[in-house]
Amino acid sequence: MWDIVVIGGGYTGVTAALQVEAALPDAKVLLLEASDRLGGRAFSYAAPTHPGAPAQSLDHGAHYLGMRQKRIYALAQRLLAAGQLFNRVPMYGPDPAFRSFLEGTWRITVRSESFLGIQGLRKDAPLYDRVCIFKSLSLYLALENLVNTRAPWRTPFAGILDRTTLAQWIERQRVPQWIREMWGLGCLGIISMHPEHVSLLYWLWYCAANDGFLNVANDVDAGPQQYSVDIGLGGLLQQYAAALRGTVKLNSPVVQVDHSAASHVTITTADGTTCDARRVVVAVTPQAAGRHITFTPPLHPARQALHQQPTGHAAKATLFYDRPWWRDAQGRHLFGMSAGPLAQRMEWVLDTSHPDGRQYSLTAFVNHQLFAGLAPDADEAALHAALAAGMAEITGDEQALHPQCVAVFRWRDAPYVGGGPNTSFQPGVLSQAAPVFNQPEGAAGRLYFAGSEYATEGAGYVEGAMAAGEFVAAQMIYDAARTGDFAAGSLPSAPVLPGHGPRLLSSLIFLIAWALLAPITELVGWFSGRRR
């Protein structure tokens, strides 16, 4: 019998296995991965660098990290050689530009002319619009600071927030249309979901668990997109997993989990092999668990609801060029572009060139409608042409039509992931998740679930995947010691979820700011004739 079986070989599963092995050196640990590689949503590939230039890997999935993401940042510093972890921001130049499609027109803003460093929030907007920006943002931050990241269902007004979609909240804002579109753009760019499909409570929780919306929306200094690694986050995972002492089996999809016994959990893989384990952790996306694994007896209804939640619709495409031609009319570096909340081809684009010029590339999240618009018999050349056309549209430059190379990956075609980049919770799900969220199931609580979707710190990022792996390992270690699965000199402390509770004072401050700005906005709108 195995002591611990981990289902899923991404950052969550590998972290959980390593943590258990470190705390329980004698434990028999088995990691089962359905695909032919470890990594999950971290999937690196060799980028086409220029002749004579050093090698580099880019990522079809998870790509970036930030200094505030303490787990993944520390891991990169520990495992990588000097220079392999690099800061992307300096190559953008001192005042990078961003191109976005709002209210039916393309606009270019630069960082120095944007409020709070968020590209698109123009400081030169009319006075009424500027006041509206801060009124809307104050209300949002008042709500975000109410969130209990450890237990979002305990957030004040959780039921109301969870019954409301983000789109409904956006539409209720008495602000110019372009500001509403900025909110929708943020949702689409961050989680690749349209706001009408996302619970407001989930969106608030997701942002709060990542140091807030203003941090998540920050693509430059101190943001979660500041750093990359030469070997890719998939390559970093391979180095991380090399320390595993237990057994790792690839191409071993689990199809059934029987958690009816009090003493163990029985697992069956697709080839009919069965094994028993004292404790099992399912470390795959909720949708993949619900789609591919039969649980006996059935899981709690709240868990089943989590397993039905959709993953993002975007594919990821990188187009490589011979030089970095993307500049605005003044010659300023265009480090990113967004086609707005109604984008049908490229949704957003970031410059993923290497700072030393070994390769020049633009990476896009691609809307599923681009693929749907292809002819049924379209070949790879037709796909690449469609991607290049989409890149030309979003950059506003026909030089995009002539990439040297194209790399594209559709996460919807990855059967054991099902979409990308994240899972998002629809209305009515998160507020009802208390019985199962970061809680085990089974006759004796021997079946656990973990992943970045369950992370109360760094949700949706590799940081969250590692945080979830750490917590579920601590759960299993504590429960194993408490029930006598392993001899222990003393019972370890019960694990505590990372994160924070409601920040009521901050919420009150922002609520007061909103209450003050609301009448000011009406007054300015009345005088300027722009009241909405």
Q: In this structure, what CATH number is given to the domain that contains residue 339?
A: 3.90.660.10
Q: Which domain holds residue 80?
A: 44-88
Give the distance, in angstroms, between the CA of residue 275 and the centroid of all CA atoms in the same chain: 33
Structural domain includes residue 336: yes
Structural domain includes residue 98: no
Same domain assignment for residues 454 and 396: no
Same domain assignment for residues 443 and 530: no
Structural domain includes residue 96: no
Same domain assignment for residues 192 and 243: no
Backbone angles phi, psi at 365, to 5 degrees: -90, 125
Same domain assignment for residues 265 and 352: no
Residue with tokens 């997701």: 206
Structural domain includes residue 455: yes
Amino acid identity, residue 60?
Answer: H
Domain containing residue 526: CATH number? 1.10.405.10
Strands 265-269 and 254-258: antiparallel
The number of domains in the chain is: 4
pLDDT tens digit string along 354-389?
999 999 999 999 998 999 999 999 999 999 999 999
Cis preceding-peptide flag for 297 (omega within 30 of 0) = yes
Domain containing residue 452: CATH number? 3.50.50.60
Same domain assignment for residues 406 and 431: no
Same domain assignment for residues 424 and 478: yes
- Strand positions, DSSP E, 253-379: 254-258, 265-269, 274-282, 294-296, 315-321, 334-338, 346-351, 360-366
Structural domain includes residue 26: yes
How confident is the prediction along the chain (532 residues), in pLDDT tens digits per residue?
999 999 999 999 999 999 999 999 999 999 999 999 999 999 999 999 999 999 999 999 999 999 999 999 999 999 999 999 999 999 998 899 999 999 999 999 999 999 887 888 889 999 999 999 999 999 999 999 999 999 999 999 999 999 999 999 999 999 999 999 999 999 998 888 999 999 999 999 999 999 999 999 998 888 999 999 999 999 999 999 999 999 999 999 999 999 999 999 999 999 999 999 999 999 999 999 999 999 999 999 999 999 999 988 889 999 999 999 999 988 999 999 999 888 889 999 999 999 999 999 999 999 989 999 999 999 999 999 999 999 999 999 999 999 999 999 999 888 888 888 889 899 999 999 999 999 999 989 999 999 999 999 999 999 999 999 999 999 999 999 998 887 656 778 899 999 999 999 999 999 999 999 999 999 999 887 765 5
Same domain assignment for residues 146 and 198: yes
Same domain assignment for residues 344 and 400: yes
In whole angstroms, give the CA distance from residue 118 to residue 186: 10
**Residue 452, Cβ density class (10 Å: 0-12 exposed, 13-18 middle, ≥19 buried):** buried
* H or E stretch covering 59: strand 57-59
Give the distance, in angstroms, between the CA of residue 90 and the centroid of all CA atoms in the same chain: 24
Same domain assignment for residues 114 and 135: no
Same domain assignment for residues 204 and 349: no
**Residue 466, Cβ density class (10 Å: 0-12 exposed, 13-18 middle, ≥19 buried):** buried
pLDDT the model gives residue 99: 95
Residues in CB range of 63: below 8 A, 6 or more apart: 228, 232, 233, 352, 363
